[in-house]
Structure 1
Amino acid sequence: MDTMQKLAVPISIVVAGALIAGAVFFVNMNNATAGPADPGSGVVAEEIRGVQPDDHILGNPNAKLVIVEFSDTECPFCKQFHGTLHRVIEEYGGSGEVAWVYRHFPLPQLHPNAPKQAEALECAAELGGNELFWRYTDLLYQTMPQTGLDMGAYDVTGRSARTDGGQLVDMAAELGMDTAAFQSCLDSGKYESRVELDWNEAVAAGGRGTPHSIIIVDGEQIPIEGAQPFEVVKGIIDTLL
């Protein structure tokens, strides 16, 4: 039995859950709105990259099953799904069979601050590696209300409008980072292209909202749309392992 046949029942659960809960921020490239998920065909439009050396990963990089999540730090459903994927790693990460890769999918039409926040995550990774990337990501999701951070420190272009930074720098300080180096990294815009690469990849793969995740297993790629509950994600994983 091939992977898609095995997934017939779990995928139907995902479809039903998405239609009922609408647990995804929907994006139209011309006019972004919040709305229910379109579960799609269960096939990626264009395959994404496998695990890369510079990916942000929790778990075994050589795991049989890898969940690649494309996320927006100001999306409340992404915040919810962030906790779900932490539960997944707590349950399966120890065996080395499942890993989680985080990639960026900011939706500036809905969340104008999200692209700069994505760059901040990359700056954290530059200064402290994979561990500090995840600590900063966790803190950002924990700290940020659904209305987003106070980003008054940045002008409409997303560039720093004052030298003392703002909450992104404050959080860097809370985690013991060199705040001057962090501020310099953030002001430079050096990671705009990295964020754009992830964004373009998500769109090409069929991502229409956040969170958008793709499971890579046995050479196949299966999209999972929206903030699916832990029980649904667990059911899919158990079917595939």
Structure 2
Amino acid sequence: MILKSKSNLLEKLVPILLVASIGLAFAVGMLWQKVKNLEGGGTTRIAGTQAGAAGGAQGGQPAAGGVQPSFGNADQVDKLRNDDHVRGDKNARMLLIEYSDLECPFCKRFHPTAKQIVDEYKGQVAWVYRHFPLDQIHQKADKEAEATECAYELAGNDGFWKLTDKIFEVTPSNNGLNLDDLPKLAGEVGLNQSAFKTCLDSGKTAAHVESDFQSGAKAGVTGTPGNILLDTKTGKTKLIPGALPFENFKTEIDNMLKES
């Protein structure tokens, strides 16, 4: 009887000890990552996993699977910069600032929604596109982002948007695009393929992509698409993560526009 009681006790303790061990390992991992972030003076890109939790039922792709880097908040978002890529009127009161990953399936889903927002609000909302490649789950996203910056160098804002639209159109997402096809895609949107390839091979636009990523982390973006509404009149901001439908954005935009 005593042996049986001890056996039952051990059976109850094993799962408790297992959970405690996992919790301890998680805490140690978080502490280690914070130390590494402090040592590096920046935000480290960590592998993520595809999950609907980031954007509710509409989904989103988080920047980290379990351990998150140090992120800021939407009030710290960079205002409109000279090197930003804008669709719509740059002088619009409202800015939809999207931090995006070209291999993220939720970003692909959100792309036409952002276009719809600009079209529906006719000069009241401008769309600002910034890069937030989750490079440990989308190893091709960095190079694709660099490719769009090469398009910008060769053909300005129009060139950037044409290639960005084309990549989202053809990629199956989740590393599905063949990077060798980038020069061909550039040619299809009217860019000089030779000049484009020279730019892409040089890696000269990588710094811009990294700067965008750090800007997003500073603004509290933790996954893609990471959307921030900025009212340039009041200075108020609203972080809206995930590929939410147009109606959700309309509600937020209308509420912000009502404020004087």
Moved more, 180-189 or 53-62: 53-62
SS state of the match for residue 214, structure 1?
A: strand
Partner amino acid for 2:178? D
Counterpart in 2 of 1:220?
236
**2:55 and 2:172 mapped to 1: Cα distance?**
25
Range 21-30 or range 67-76, more displaced: 21-30
What is the CA-CA distance between 1:67 and the residue it aligns to?
0.7
Aligned counterparts of 1:139 and 1:173: Cα–Cα separation in 2: 11
Count residues in correspondence: 200
When residues 230 and 45 of structure 1 are mapped into structure 2, their CA distance, relative to the original with a 3 A threshold, is closer
Distance 2:106 2:178 in 1: 20
TM-score, structure 1 as length reference: 0.78
Question: Normalized against structure 2, the TM-score is what?
Answer: 0.72
Name the residue aligned to 1:13: none
> Percent identity of the aligned residues?
44
Structure 1 segment 1-241 matched on structure 2, within 5 A: 20-21=56-57, 23-28=59-64, 44=73, 47-92=76-121, 94=122, 96-147=123-174, 148-151=176-179, 166-217=180-231, 218-241=234-257
Pair 45,223 (structure 1): closer, same or farther in 2 beyond 3 Å: closer
Q: Kindly indicate whether the alpha-carbon contact (under 8 Å) linking 2:151 and 2:186 is maintained by their aligned counterparts in 1.
A: yes
Q: Deviations over 1:155-182 (max 9, x none)?
A: xxxxxxxxxxx21101011112111100
Structure ranking higher in helix proportion:
2
Residues 66 and 125 (structure 1), Cα distance of their counterparts in 2 relative to 1, 3 Å cut: same
Contact 1:44 1:222 in 2 (8 A): no
